[in-house]
Structure 1
Amino acid sequence: MMSLLLPSPSDKNAVQGNGLPPGGASGASGASLVLLDRDHSILAFNERVLDWAVREDVPLLERLRYLCIVSSNLDEFFEVRAAAHLGATPDGSSKSAYGVNSFEALALKAQALVARQYALYNDSLMPAFAALGIRIVPHGERTAAQRRWVREHFAREVRPLLIPVGLDPAHPFPQVANKSLNFIVRLRGGDAFGRENEIAIVKVPRALQRIMRLPAKVAPSGTKFVSLSSIIRTHLADLFPGRQVVEFSQFRVTRHSDLAVDEEDVRNLRTALRQGLQHRHYGQAVRLEVSAGCSAFLADFLQTQFALPAAALYRVHGPVNLVRLGQLVDLVNDPALLFPAWRPAWPAQLPRPGGILARLRRRDLLIHQPFESFDGVLGFLREAVGDPQVLAIKQTIYRTGADSEQMELLREAVRRGKEVMAVVELKARFDEEANINWADALESIGAQVVYGVMGLKTHAKMLLVTRREGGGLRRYGHLSTGNYNPRTARLYTDLSYLTADPHVTADMDAVFDHLANQNRVPRLKRLLLAPFDLQRRMIEKIDAAGLAAERGEDGRIVAKMNALTDEALIAALVRAARRGASVDLVVRGACMLPAGVPGMTDNIRVRSVIGRFLEHTRVFYFRSGGQEDVYLSSADWMNRNMLRRVEIAWPVTDAKLRQRIIDECLVAYLHDDRDAWTLASDGSYARAPRALDGHGAQGALMERYAPRTPALKGAANP
């Protein structure tokens, strides 16, 4: 990875002011700064992800994977974000900065994104697969032998699990689960009792495989598949003997799925959440997907059943659930159609397992995932579990996954007689069930399990080991920008920080005590803690950079995060920029701060980097005259992270590690001219100008950490 020099910042803005008060601020022209809409910004992020599915320099199966990722992201967007817009007033109308109905405005943008997805699927990806002999064969193109195989498969594997429900007063519209595949059928002719109940619903069990490979005996050439929806569609008539299928459509309904538990009224949060999980699949309907050819009669019938406005109806030219097409990636499994396998290196700073604690006594250590292996973190914990001098282990658990070596190591620590405390966040969205199960498993063998602070999510990532040494106790800590999840550690960029600094580890212990007993937190020496002082201290650092610039000194802010939506932090950034500070923001997803607004944000540049790995590091750099600070954090600059979660940020005091973070996580991303996008004042994104020999930050880091490559040369300030 080359040494990079930052382009000269723009001229300092001479406009003075007090920043952004609530509701906006007046610039030099007297105009108010209008923040960008968060939900539209989330959809814009997914447009940038979809670009990876469009790029012809990306392997074909990976392009399909990105298409599926966008669909999965949209599912979560509707599950979490849409209900508030849909329910703003009885008719779903509410005004936004766009000056139109907010639900309709979002729907228009989402509809356009979905249309791009299906156009890409039908006109680009599927023809490209077909050119390679890989096809999902529709009924009309199947050979006689393939039709026989489909008919036999339907009769043997599918038909026994389908229960068509004819609607009448004794058979009301059935409960349809969130994101499940269903068919609506219109029939002609009487039933067994001579009644003409013309509508039937067929629910498709989730257990049925969505894509199946045709055996070689009926598909001797190429690689051919059939979809479950096509198999059922072909044999719908078999479900209604003696009646005529007049018309039909696939459909899928998306429901609001954010669990809401009134923590003030529950005696046991774990029990309440377990009960809530039973109802998650049947929340308020927010989106209805049907086949493009679905008749107005059937579409209107479904909209009435789910009480949805016209803007919530999505007609799609293909399967109603593109997420399930991800199965094709594994079924084809052709290395030539995938990214070259990435095998992260063992962290260069870490000794092989067995000497990590001894190394930490000499200096702090850093692991840059996924370029370096998460096994380094597991090695730290394995060593602690196996060390008879280690007396206690404390860890926060947010998203660790259903199958976690880390959780098994904690269980082993209990069996070896160590004191184990696990702070399990039961309300980690869509991970509630896995976390409840881990809480049960840990508690059942004697671990101390707590659930953090009522009303707040514990999002801080901490692992603390206490060891007996030389007649006293010494602590060793791990802090991270990301989760203790070995799967996502291979897919997300994150920083793991290992330290034996007594000030940092004492602060960690104080936070763990607070999470266990909710006593007042003592004054911390190193850590910044939300919801107490993290937001305030970040604002102080931002303001200091602005005041330095106002005095004619160096004022520089570079922040890398996943989202920027906190209005107080945005106000501070605008205030600093108007005083002359140079501000560069690398924001992967939603960003409400418009860059380049004359008289307001001239000195602010915002870029988003979308790469092979999901950007997840949170790094905050401040320079105020001769003072330079670098913080790592579990928190994005969002209101929820600052005020409704337990989050941490910590300074990097080791000069070599600080420079390494600056080089790898800030400078490289500010110079990315392959995978970067720049934000305009109207909320639109454009590709950053690409050089002929352009580089992506992630690609450069992969080269940096690949075996037998030169070390990173030089150092540059951001």
Structure 2
Amino acid sequence: MSIAADAALETPDPLRDPALYLNRELSQLDFNFRVLAQALDPQVPLLERLRFLCISCTNLDEFFEIRAATVRHAQDFGLPPGPDGLSPTTILHMIHDRAAQLVDSQYRCWNEVLRPALAEAGVRVLGRDRWNARQTRWLRAYFRNEIMPVLSPLGLDPSHPFPKILNKSLNIVVVLKGKDAFGRAGHLAIVRAPRSLSRIIHIPERVSGGPNDFVLLSSVLSVFVDEMFPGMEVKGAYQFRVTRNSELVVDEAEVDNLALALRDELAGRGYRPAVRLEIAHDCPKAIVATLLQNFELNENAVYRIDGPVNLNRVIQVYDLAQRPDLKYAGFTPRVLRDSDTIFETVADGDVLLHHPFDAFTPVLELLKQAATDPNVLAIKQTLYRTGKDSAIVDALVLAARNGKDVTVVVELRARFDEEANLGLADRLQNAGVQVVYGVVGFKTHAKMMLIVRREGRKLRRYVHMGTGNYHSGTARAYTDLGLITADADIGNDVHLLFQQLSGLAPSTKLKCMLQSPFTLHSGVIKKIEREARIAQAGGNGRIIIKVNAINEPRVVRALYKASQAGVKIDLIVRGACTLRPGLEGISDNIRVRSIVGRFLEHSRIYWFGNDGQPELYCASADWLERNLLHRVEACFPILDPKLAARVYREGLQNYLDDNLNAWELDAEGGYHKLSPDGDAAPHSAQATLLAKV
């Protein structure tokens, strides 16, 4: 080895300094504070504020099920610190402190802000201290007739050990005094609420006098729990909920049938190791200690709750309350101009769809028309999340029954959709569809559809690619971009990708597209480095990126180096970002902002200035290590200059101009809400796009 090489090995890279990196888990937690801020914003309709509160709670559940569980796994196995230099033990302590602040803020929002405001507006979630005599009688009868028959309370004694507690289920621990029918002295009992019971009870207007009066199941259980223990005195009843590790672990290289292995894992998911205990704030310490011992947790995993432990279930009020005046006004997405077929429209030029402002209908119509078109020979599709009763799946089944050659890549490991996707795969296979489960060790996260159609003497490929899933529900709730094109080069690239997924092709360099896990990571870094060279040569180095999260260390280092070279970089990152902007001499030229509004920001856009010849890509991939290196992802260019200009205008510049829903990240990892400065006019990116619908 040369002296220069020895020196290079001995000289540490200053851009690897842990002080330059924020912790991903804490950054992800902070996103939920921004969601919660929407619940506290008086400019947001009241029931929508309730929805944002519940979203923050659901997000926190998933955070503990996946992120915190992953850190605990790293602690158990003694894994080394990540780029931020923090040990798993330190991260777990920091998670507890930050999550405790979030939980406190969530319940203050509920108890002190939203619940009183909803009651004033005529939507009442009645606590036990607010029930009148008539409501109490009705609820007691409801408990006896609808609830108690499905409950199985369990007294704890040597012959009745602590029962299995399902992940995130509602439970009541009851303190008893006296003896039961068999003379057994009571001490503790557990009442588990089956998931078949609604967590929100709608009191009829004839009983309550109002059309929108509700009661929490947890309140009803606590008030009438004595009826389940006749002859004994109930000294206390305290609700609790345990959150468990929900990350499925399947050694794909060691199983013969991934679907069967996943079914086995799913059967036990609800009872995997616990990671969090939520307990009523007034629960005695001795009982908390008993629960912690049973769940093998320590005090660092306890969250004392002043309200329902399953606060996210209050989202049912959003759907049950007949108050459209307390919600966002509805809108009708734009639709494509009339034509005989989608094929004719796309043959005339690429079609860009910006959801939810553009309808998802053209994607559905493309597939439906392909299913019945006698000239269509083959259809290939990736499915990650589709939703219940999917029209996409119906069209694929119809196509197979009509004799088309249909191949579908179903990602069985799509988190929390595994069971649904197993059923989906069965349905497709029964219809004659060739189902592929993707590649061992790599989730297929790419969003692609390929249709092969005979036109005269030639075969032509029609392609749809997107930044979001083939899910009509999320297409109305998430911002995403989709492209429908008949471009020959893109069509051939997608064809090669599907060949790889079915195991029939080696890694092949694509002409237009970048793909994970082969060329996307290196391609992104090369394009960042190109902008740095342009800036060093006196040109205008410029990068604008919109993704959901960033944590890949080599990409972060490349961005730091580009900033040092003088490249102006704007990162629009919805959630976790481990890069520190604004560090003197390192990231002075980098700005990071997060947009949180009515719709979940989900589109991924990469824009590189390229010295006046800009390149714009859309992708299924965030700039996370898992997406860039350990998943199958597709990154596609917008080749039509007019469409590229539209994506830049609507999806990038529009968001950089936002001064109403934007939060800016500082070098310390804190976010502050932006507001119109000086003479600047108020600008909301999402409202601007909605106004054009």
| Structure-2-length-normalised TM-score | 0.95
Q: Give the Cα–Cα distance (whole angstroms) in 1 for the partners of residues 591 and 174 of structure 2.
A: 53
Contact 1:183/1:202 (CA < 8 Å) preserved in 2?
A: yes
Tell me what 1:704 maps to: 692
Contact 1:93/1:102 (CA < 8 Å) preserved in 2?
A: no
3-state SS of 2:461 partner: strand
Tell me what 1:14 maps to: none
3-state SS of 1:493 partner: strand
Map Cα deviations across residues 579-632 of structure 1 (whole Å, 9 max, x no partner). 111111000000000000011000111011111000011101111323311111
Contact 1:92/1:103 (CA < 8 Å) preserved in 2?
A: no
Contact 2:496/2:505 (CA < 8 Å) preserved in 1?
A: no
Which one of 477, 487, 491 corresponds to residue 501 of structure 1?
487
Residue 371 (1) aligns with residue 357 (2) = yes
Which one of 13, 23, 29 corresponds to residue 43 of structure 1?
29
1:517 positional shift? 1.6
1:487 positional shift? 0.4
1:197 positional shift? 4.2
Q: Give the Cα–Cα distance (whole angstroms) in 1 for the partners of residues 353 and 629 of structure 2.
A: 29
Residue identity opposite 2:440 in structure 1: M
Greater RCO structure (CA 8 Å; 6+ sep)? 1
Map Cα deviations across residues 6-32 of structure 1 (whole Å, 9 max, x no partner). xxxxxxxxxxxxxx99998537xx977
Tell me what 1:299 maps to: 288
Q: Give the Cα–Cα distance (whole angstroms) in 2 for the partners of residues 623 and 617 of structure 1.
A: 19
Which one of 683, 687, 708 corresponds to residue 669 of structure 2?
683
Residue identity opposite 2:374 in structure 1: P
Tell me what 1:153 maps to: 142
Cα gap change, 1:426 to 1:108, in 2 (>3 Å)? same
Q: Give the Cα–Cα distance (whole angstroms) in 1 for the partners of residues 379 and 500 of structure 2.
A: 16
Q: Give the Cα–Cα distance (whole angstroms) in 2 for the partners of residues 679 and 387 of structure 1.
A: 51
3-state SS of 2:153 partner: strand
Tell me what 1:251 maps to: 240
Moved more, 413-422 or 78-87: 78-87
Tell me what 1:324 maps to: 313
Contact 2:408/2:436 (CA < 8 Å) preserved in 1?
A: yes
Contact 2:212/2:322 (CA < 8 Å) preserved in 1?
A: no
Contact 2:339/2:345 (CA < 8 Å) preserved in 1?
A: no
Contact 2:204/2:211 (CA < 8 Å) preserved in 1?
A: no
Residue 193 (1) aligns with residue 193 (2) = no
3-state SS of 1:636 partner: coil
Q: Give the Cα–Cα distance (whole angstroms) in 2 for the partners of residues 310 and 570 of structure 1.
A: 36
Tell me what 2:66 maps to: 80
Q: Give the Cα–Cα distance (whole angstroms) in 2 for the partners of residues 197 and 652 of structure 1.
A: 70
Tell me what 1:565 maps to: 551
1:413 positional shift? 0.3
Q: Give the Cα–Cα distance (whole angstroms) in 2 for the partners of residues 594 and 534 of structure 1.
A: 23
Aligned length: 681
Residue 482 (1) aligns with residue 471 (2) = no
Q: Counterparts in 2 of 1:89-128, with a 5 A limit?
A: 89=75, 97=85, 101-128=90-117
3-state SS of 2:672 partner: strand
Q: Counterparts in 2 of 1:195-594, with a 5 A limit?
A: 195-221=184-210, 223-346=212-335, 350-352=336-338, 354-594=340-580
Q: Give the Cα–Cα distance (whole angstroms) in 2 for the partners of residues 265 and 205 of structure 1.
A: 36
3-state SS of 1:311 partner: helix
Cα gap change, 1:374 to 1:421, in 2 (>3 Å)? same
3-state SS of 1:621 partner: strand
Question: Percent same amino acid among aligned pairs?
Answer: 45
Cα gap change, 1:693 to 1:402, in 2 (>3 Å)? same
Which one of 152, 164, 169 corresponds to residue 163 of structure 1?
152
1:45 positional shift? 0.6
Tell me what 2:5 maps to: none
Q: Give the Cα–Cα distance (whole angstroms) in 1 for the partners of residues 612 and 604 of structure 2.
A: 23
3-state SS of 1:151 partner: helix
* Structure 1, gaps ≥5 residues long: 1-19, 706-718
Q: Give the Cα–Cα distance (whole angstroms) in 1 for the partners of residues 342 and 12 of structure 2.
A: 50
Q: Give the Cα–Cα distance (whole angstroms) in 2 for the partners of residues 652 and 614 of structure 1.
A: 23
Moved more, 203-212 or 513-522: 513-522
C-alpha RMSD of matched pairs (Å): 2.0
Map Cα deviations across residues 502-553 of structure 1 (whole Å, 9 max, x no partner). 1100111111011012530333111111100111011110000001000001
1:190 positional shift? 2.0
Tell me what 2:132 maps to: 143
Residue identity opposite 1:282 in structure 2: Y
Which one of 609, 624, 649 corresponds to residue 595 of structure 2?
609
Cα gap change, 1:172 to 1:589, in 2 (>3 Å)? same
Residue identity opposite 1:183 in structure 2: I
Q: Give the Cα–Cα distance (whole angstroms) in 1 for the partners of residues 602 and 125 of structure 2.
A: 35
Contact 1:85/1:94 (CA < 8 Å) preserved in 2?
A: no
1:456 positional shift? 0.4
Q: Give the Cα–Cα distance (whole angstroms) in 2 for the partners of residues 310 and 342 of structure 1.
A: 48
Q: Give the Cα–Cα distance (whole angstroms) in 1 for the partners of residues 504 and 93 of structure 2.
A: 44
Contact 1:24/1:34 (CA < 8 Å) preserved in 2?
A: no
Contact 2:170/2:240 (CA < 8 Å) preserved in 1?
A: yes
Which one of 669, 682, 687 corresponds to residue 694 of structure 1?
682
Map Cα deviations across residues 161-220 of structure 1 (whole Å, 9 max, x no partner). 110001112111001000000000111112333232411111001111111221222212
Q: Give the Cα–Cα distance (whole angstroms) in 2 for the partners of residues 181 and 704 of structure 1.
A: 45
Residue identity opposite 2:68 in structure 1: A
Contact 1:456/1:646 (CA < 8 Å) preserved in 2?
A: yes
3-state SS of 1:252 partner: strand
Contact 1:21/1:571 (CA < 8 Å) preserved in 2?
A: no
Tell me what 2:4 maps to: none
Residue identity opposite 1:521 in structure 2: S
Q: Give the Cα–Cα distance (whole angstroms) in 1 for the partners of residues 386 and 513 of structure 2.
A: 23
3-state SS of 2:207 partner: coil
1:438 positional shift? 0.9
Residue identity opposite 1:198 in structure 2: H
1:499 positional shift? 0.6
1:291 positional shift? 1.0
Q: Give the Cα–Cα distance (whole angstroms) in 2 for the partners of residues 471 and 452 of structure 1.
A: 33
Cα gap change, 1:702 to 1:605, in 2 (>3 Å)? same
Q: Give the Cα–Cα distance (whole angstroms) in 2 for the partners of residues 604 and 21 of structure 1.
A: 29
Q: Give the Cα–Cα distance (whole angstroms) in 2 for the partners of residues 230 and 493 of structure 1.
A: 38
Contact 1:94/1:103 (CA < 8 Å) preserved in 2?
A: no
Map Cα deviations across residues 326-365 of structure 1 (whole Å, 9 max, x no partner). 000111130110010122111xxx3436322112222111
Residue identity opposite 1:552 in structure 2: G
Contact 2:621/2:628 (CA < 8 Å) preserved in 1?
A: yes
Q: Give the Cα–Cα distance (whole angstroms) in 2 for the partners of residues 224 and 310 of structure 1.
A: 37
Runs of 4+ in 1 over 4 A off after TM superposition: 20-25, 30-33, 87-100
Contact 2:333/2:356 (CA < 8 Å) preserved in 1?
A: yes
Residue identity opposite 1:524 in structure 2: L
Q: Give the Cα–Cα distance (whole angstroms) in 2 for the partners of residues 400 and 631 of structure 1.
A: 24
* Structure 2, gaps ≥5 residues long: 1-7
